Chains A and B, each alone.
Chain A
Amino acid sequence: MDGEKGKLLPFYIVIDVSFSMTLNDKLDTANRIMPTVTDAVAQAPILSDKVRFAVVDFSDDAQVRMPLCDILEEGVQLPALSPRGGTSYVAAFRMLRNQIAQDVKQLKADGFAVHRPVVFFISDGEPTDHRADWEAAFKDLTTYDKGTLTGFSMYPNVVPCGVDDADPTVLQTLIHPAGGPKPMRMYMQDKTKIDAGQAIAAMAEVLISSVLASGESMAQGNSGIILPPDEDLPPGLASYTADDDFV
């Protein structure tokens, strides 16, 4: 009943812009994600009282290409992503940790309550950094110990999405939380059915379904993100839990 300012759900759309993303229309399709999301929010415009969006791209480094915002605000510039360099997951995870901490503090200072942020992480390849390094960076982003109050209390829910050469066993380790009452999922391109560009468009559909469902269901006490049921997924997209095996 209280808190008329509401509780916001921040979505971070994190997109790999390594050079390989220029193949198979991947980057062109990725560039259409935010216009499509914006149209979907415009069709249900009170969602703007509930959700915020940011776009981060990463290659050898990571950059905030669209700072967290109300996507229907006049003058919001949707970014045009262009390719550069390799695939550093470390850069992406470190940037996210800093940015999320900063954004959540800002929203709270502005009087909003904040749902746990959500990261849609879209990549087409394996990380170019050492495994131990990106694992450590991911741990910094997602680990929090309520008992000792150590770690990152604003850790996000992470939904990895893979196309082309992305290794499902690598991306699967990025599903967060992997278990518990509300586990996240991973979405992968089914290469026998659709190409990578189509898969990214399908992932945008999943994102939009999640935005709409989360926005409509967020009542007091609800924890925010809702992913669409598997039976409603666009064709050509495979959904996995953290426990699924790959043969």
Chain B
Amino acid sequence: MNELAVPRQSLGGLGPLVGQGGQAKVYLAPDVRLPDVAGALVFKHYRPGQAPPGGLRALVGRRLRMTATARRRLDLCTAWPVRTVEEDGEVCGVLMPLIPEDFFHPRVLPSGVRDRALLEFQHLFIDPSRAGRFGMPKPNLRTRALFCRDFASAMHFLHSNELVLGDINAKNAVFRLTARPSVRLIDCDAIRVRGSAAVVAQLNAPDWEPPERRLSQATDLYKFGLLVLRTLCPGTGASLLRDPAHARGVLDGAGLQLLSRTLGDNPEGRPSAKDWGRYLDAEFDFDRLSRGTADGTRTYGWVREPGTKKWVPASPHGV
């Protein structure tokens, strides 16, 4: 054992199951506190035979070697594995920060059953009136643009730290509306350090395939382009959109050009996450967006004031 790992028996009693998939089950770990993690933790327990072969320690180590400021930034934009959990010398799981409550939303299913939904990006892609019928949020275009902006910022941070996200899709990024509109990347064990193999084989989710076969920071950028397009142009079939022309009327000329290059076949021609951040900060015409929002949806959150570039509370009439 070392500082990257904690023994399975040190976790104490586990809390309720909070999620499960084919690879792992996720439990609350109420007895565990770590000096470098602000809130509650969960234990992702891999199913037998499903633990990634190696490399998780590298991801954990990457975080621990960051400055405290960078680590806080990482923890804000991802559900990063903070320790491996080991049993009999083998990795059997990881500790991760619990996804905060404001990334969830109460929902009413068609049968009338009420549940609590994780605000995955897929809910941004569907027709907003459909989302509204289920009691899910219908953020306006301005807020959608802020999600894209925050995603670009997170990706810039990860890319600057020599990381490759790999699998960006409709379910592994979540958003919240209660604070400044922001996003968080979840299921981070498919992220890899540039120049190394992935912990879990990096795959393309269906409908997120980039033009080139090898996944790299350039394919992250392509997938981010799909995410921007689908987030800004919600509706029936939006989860399949690829043609930047759909964003006409939503993005201005500069934005359309940026999106076209991002969704182009030439990996070298794709604008960086920083380019996107700069555009969404400075050039994106928020006034035009607010005029274009006719559905009366409440504007949530915060926007950049064009003159001072400071974050200010958004108003339905623009800043």
Contacts and interface: CB of A to CB of B under 8 A. Distances in A.
A244 interface: no
A4 interface: yes
Interface in B197-256: 204-207, 209, 211, 236-243
A72 B130 contact: yes
A47 to B, nearest CB: 9
A219 B117 CA distance: 26
A3 to B, nearest CB: 8
B125 interface: yes
B111 A38 contact: yes
Contact of A72 (B110, B111, B240, B241): B110
Contacts of A72: 110, 130
A218 B206 contact: yes
Contact of B242 (A1, A70, A218): A1
A48 B236 contact: yes
Interface residues on A, range: 20 to 34
Nearest to B108: A42
B240 A6 contact: yes
A74 B133 contact: yes
A45 interface: yes
Contacts of B115: 43
Given A1-B211, A45-B126, A72-B110, 12 more contacts: A1-B209, A1-B242, A4-B237, A4-B240, A6-B207, A38-B110, A39-B109, A42-B107, A43-B117, A48-B236, A74-B130, A220-B206
Contacts of A44: 122
Interface string A85-112: 0000000000000000000000000000
B111 A49 contact: no
13 contacts: A5-B240, A35-B111, A36-B111, A38-B109, A38-B110, A45-B123, A46-B170, A48-B236, A49-B236, A72-B130, A74-B129, A74-B133, A219-B207
A49 B240 CA distance: 8
Interface in A171-202: none
A217 interface: yes
A216 interface: yes
A238 B241 CA distance: 40
Nearest to B134: A42
A186 B140 CA distance: 47
A66 B171 CA distance: 30
B131 interface: yes
Interface in B117-158: 117, 122-123, 125-126, 129-131, 133-134
The 5 closest A-B pairs by CB, nearest first: A46-B239, A219-B206, A39-B109, A6-B240, A46-B122
Given A1-B209, A45-B130, A39 B239 contact: no
B206 A217 contact: yes
B113 interface: yes
B97 to A, nearest CB: 24
Interface in A42-64: 42-46, 48-49
A140 B131 CA distance: 42
- Which of B113, B130, B205, B243 has the most chain A CB atoms inside 10 A of its CB? B130
Given A1-B242, A35-B111, A38-B111, A46 B209 contact: no
